[in-house]
C-alpha cells in the first residue's frame, strides 16, 4: 500500500492544523519532517509553494493547510469537525488574513519594520471577536471542538507566546480559557512529538 506523503515542520502553525485533522480523521501518511532553513530537494520538487504542510497522494499535491484538513476530514470525520463549515471557513479566512498579518508584524517587527503596538491593536480586533463568541459557547463554531478551533488555535497560541503575560492581561477570559484548554488537550500533545529531519534513505515514519 502506498501511503500519502506529508511534508511537515513541527513548530509551523499551518502544519499543526493539518496534523490535527490527520489525527482526528485517522488518515495515515508517511511523515517527512523538514527544516524550513534547509529545504530538502525532494520536498521542493513536490511543493509548488515550497511551504508546509504539503501532502502528496499519488498524482495529487495539496500544499494549502486548510485544503489538507478538508481533504482528510472528507475521507473520515468521526468527530464532526466539518459541521457548520461555512461559519468555520469565515472565521478561518479572517484568521489567515488580517489576524495573521498582524501576528507576523508583531512577532517579526524588525523584519517588517512595523510598530508592534499598532499591530497588537489590529490583532485585538479578531481576538475580541473570538472572546465574544466564546462567551456563549465553549467552541468557535458549534457545541464541540471542530474545524474552526483546530485551524485557528495554533495561530492564537503563536501570538500568545510572543508575550504570554501581556496576552493574559489584554485579552478576555473566554479566549484565554479556550486557548488553555486547547494546549492541555491530548490531541495537541500528540501532534507535537519531535521527529528527526527526513532524509532520502531514512526509515519510514508513519503519522498518525
> What is the spatial distance between Cα 82 and Cα 200, in angstroms, rounded to a whole number?
35
Class of domain 85-186: mainly alpha
Residue 41, pLDDT > 90, answer no
| Helix, strand, coil share of the chain (percent; to 5) | 55, 10, 35
Using the structure block, give the residue that is written with the C-alpha cell 488555535. Answer: 153
pLDDT digits (tens, 9 = 90+) for 59-103: 999 999 999 999 999 999 999 999 999 999 999 999 999 999 999
Question: Which residue(s) pair with 171 in the sheet?
Answer: none
CATH of domain 5-79+189-207: 3.40.30.10
pLDDT digits (tens, 9 = 90+) for 160-202: 999 999 999 999 999 999 999 999 999 999 999 999 999 888 8
Phi, psi of 7 (to 5 degrees): -90, 130
Q: What HEC string does 20-56 produce?
A: HHHHHHCCCEEEEECECCECCHHHHHHCCCCCCCEEE
pLDDT digits (tens, 9 = 90+) for 123-168: 999 999 999 999 999 999 999 999 999 999 999 999 999 999 999 9
Q: Helix or strand or coil: residue 76?
A: coil
Alpha carbon distances (Å) from 75 to 16, 17, 48, 51, 63: 19, 17, 24, 23, 18
Contacts of 26 (CB under 8 A, 6+ apart): 76, 78, 208
Handedness of CA 120, 125, 129, 132 (dihedral sign): positive
Domain residue extents for the chain: 5-79+189-207, 85-186
Amino acid at each position: 500500500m502506498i501511503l500519502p506523503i506529508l511534508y511537515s515542520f513541527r513548530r509551523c502553525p499551518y502544519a499543526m492544523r493539518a496534523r490535527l485533522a490527520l489525527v482526528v480523521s485517522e488518515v495515515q501518511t508517511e511523515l517527512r519532517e523538514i527544516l524550513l532553513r534547509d529545504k530538502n530537494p525532494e520536498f521542493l520538487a513536490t511543493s509548488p509553494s515550497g511551504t508546509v504542510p504539503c501532502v502528496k497522494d499519488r498524482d495529487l499535491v495539496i500544499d494549502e493547510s486548510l485544503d489538507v484538513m478538508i481533504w482528510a476530514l472528507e475521507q473520515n470525520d468521526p468527530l464532526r469537525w466539518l459541521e457548520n463549515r461555512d461559519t468555520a471557513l469565515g472565521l478561518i479566512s479572517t484568521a489567515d488574513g488580517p489576524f495573521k498579518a498582524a501576528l507576523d508584524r508583531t512577532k517579526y517587527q524588525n523584519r517588517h519594520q512595523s510598530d508592534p503596538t499598532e499591530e497588537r491593536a489590529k490583532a485585538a480586533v479578531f481576538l475580541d471577536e473570538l472572546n465574544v463568541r466564546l462567551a456563549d459557547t465553549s467552541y468557535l463554531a458549534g457545541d464541540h471542538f471542530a474545524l474552526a478551533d483546530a485551524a485557528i488555535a495554533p495561530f492564537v497560541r503563536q501570538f500568545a507566546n510572543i508575550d504570554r503575560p501581556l496576552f493574559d492581561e489584554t485579552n478576555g477570559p473566554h479566549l484565554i480559557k479556550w486557548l488553555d484548554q486547547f494546549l492541555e488537550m491530548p490531541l495537541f500533545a500528540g501532534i507535537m512529538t519531535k521527529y528527526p529531519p527526513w532524509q532520502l534513505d531514512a526509515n519510514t515514519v508513519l503519522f498518525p
